[in-house]
Amino acid sequence: MALRHALLAALLDRELSGYQLTKLFDLAASSFWHASSQQLYAELAKLEADGLLTGHEVVQHGRPNKRVFALTDNGRDELARFTAAPTKPISIRDDLIVKAYAEHAADPSVLIKQLEDRLAQSRAKDEFLQSQLARLRDGKSEEEYLASAENIGPYLAGTRGRMYLRDEIDWCEWASGVLRNRS
Contacts with DNA by CB under 7 A lie at 1-3, 17-20, 22-23, 34-39, 41-45, 60-67, 88, 91, 93
Tell me if 146 contacts a copy of itself by CB under 8 A: yes
Binding mask 33-72 for a copy of itself (x = CB under 8 A): xx--------------------------------------
Phi, psi of 66 (to 5 degrees): -140, 165
Q: Provide, rounded to whole angstroms, the least separation between the CB of residue 96 and DNA.
A: 15
163 belongs to the binding site for a copy of itself (CB under 8 A): yes
Q: Does residue number 23 form part of the binding site for a copy of itself (CB under 8 A)?
A: no
Does 74 engage in binding with a copy of itself (CB under 8 A)?
no
Amino acid 78 reads E
- Binding site partner of 64, from DNA, a copy of itself, none, Cβ cut-off 5-8 A by kind: DNA
Kindly give the interhelix angle for 3-10 and 37-49, rounded to the nearest 10 degrees. 80
**Alpha carbon separation from 132 to 10, 77, 136, 176 (Å, rounded):** 15, 28, 6, 29
Please report which helix (H) or strand (E) contains residue 67, including its range: strand 66-71
**Backbone dihedral angles phi then psi of residue 69, each to the nearest 5 degrees:** -115, 145
